[in-house]
Structure 1
Amino acid sequence: MPPSVRALATSGKLPPELAPLFTPPGQERWGRIAEAVDERLDEVDPAVRGAFALAGAYGHLDDIEFLESGEMHEHNDRAVALIDEALGHGGPDEEVQELWDLTYRVQDAAHLAHDHEEYVAKHGATAEQRLNVKLAETHARHEAGDRDAALRLFREVAEADVWGEFGGAAYRSDIGWCRLLHDAAHHDGPEAARKIWQEAKASRHAARFPYPHWSAPLIEMLLGTGVPDLLALLARERLEAAESAPPWPLDDDELRVLALAVEEIERYDRA
């Protein structure tokens, strides 16, 4: 919350019926505050009008990411108008700029939300839901012994457009690549696995593969298959992720798997 808005709550210059909306700290009713500002901005003491307008902008932007795209645009436009009002009535430049920056990010988020809504309208489901259906079919084919069909479907999942799709496509794509790597390593040998690895890495361009969540499971899939170089890469990248900002903490099971990878890598080094 901007400091000027926090000070507003205890200024004594708000109409008595509005002051309770700002208390207790941490439990402000931002939706109601936004409504109150829209309704009564012209009535408040001019000395706090800038801060009151900022409070309204803050209220319109609060939890805006959970709205549909049209509502996001509507609330964002109202926030922009209130930020202008705050700027014209002594709103602190730093606080105004912070909210300005947020409105630009909201515009981008609203456009993305609109694209997502159009995607769901066109396909009847999110990309994640569609890939989950395909993965269920793939696992069923694999369990039934139809390896060729399963591999075709795993590749379709792996090659999902993680840039153009929405809602979890990258995580599901990782499952596809991991299963292809597992199959290649166990059925076709180390070189086939390395080829799949290069394909997976290339498919992500500069993005991460796999996501840290899948690193330990993939290491476990590849243990004993003759690819210590891939184990070393996966282990190093997982440890780097644990130290990144924000970090991806390692749990006990991941530490167990990393220890197994280190043991195998050291055996190859000694050979």
Structure 2
Amino acid sequence: MATEARKQSGIVETVKTIVYALLIAGIFRSLFFQPFWIPSGSMKDTLLIGDFLFVNKMAYGYSYASCPSVRMPQFGINIDATDICGVFDGDNTRLFGSEPDRGDVVVFRHPTTGFDFIKRLVGLPGDRIQVKAGVLNINGEPVKLEDGGIFEELAGPQGPQGLRPRCENGPVGDGGKCLKSRQIETLPGGVSHPILNIGRQGSDDTGVYTVPAGHFFFMGDNRDNSTDSRVPQVARGVGYVPFENLIGRADRIMFSSAGRSMFAFWTWRSDRFFKAVK
């Protein structure tokens, strides 16, 4: 009997340990840092498909969007942040809130789909944003641009989703050189970062967007391959993002893999480990 009791006690202690570990991990993820894996090429070459980073959730304070969403469709799990913290949704305020800076790379909750997006903040409340011939204009003034050379990558499937890059040098077969023009863009306030160009398209010439109070305007650094605030929400774009939808700031890449799986060590990009996000 004593042996059986010890076995049951051991099982209970193991379960308690697992539950406590999950609770601690959940609190840590909700309050401090959230892991984020880059799934697409919309932020090249600042962020590449397969970069893994932790999002600083303390940077802008806390809102309903700070609660984690858990989506594991293969197991039938779809827990949304609103299921946990929906009571705090709707007032566009934050606890210990801090305004983001222009040029921050931000993870935010899409205003309509609820999925996490990562883009660069280019427009603050009250700003007038327009793109003319591929050049970002803020409050009637074009941003400073300098030549940044050529961005080169191999054509072919990238990341777990097998996404293929678009190339400025036309359709390129697998294994060929996929090229894009690169410029260094400097935003008002002094943040400089690379942007990529693939070719002229509709998003290179837009109307004027006036950012509403309490909202922000985001764009991807891979300008011709990014669904962002240039596309309104009614057209399945991002549109203006409310302050409460910000999750946190991307500060540093912790790990990076160019392959279909993070376990394929021969595809690891060791030169990107612990690289600062600028």
Under a length normalisation based on structure 1, what TM-score does the superposition of the two structures give? 0.20
Rg larger in 1 or in 2? 1
Larger helix proportion of the pair: 1
Larger strand proportion of the pair: 2
Under a length normalisation based on structure 2, what TM-score does the superposition of the two structures give? 0.20
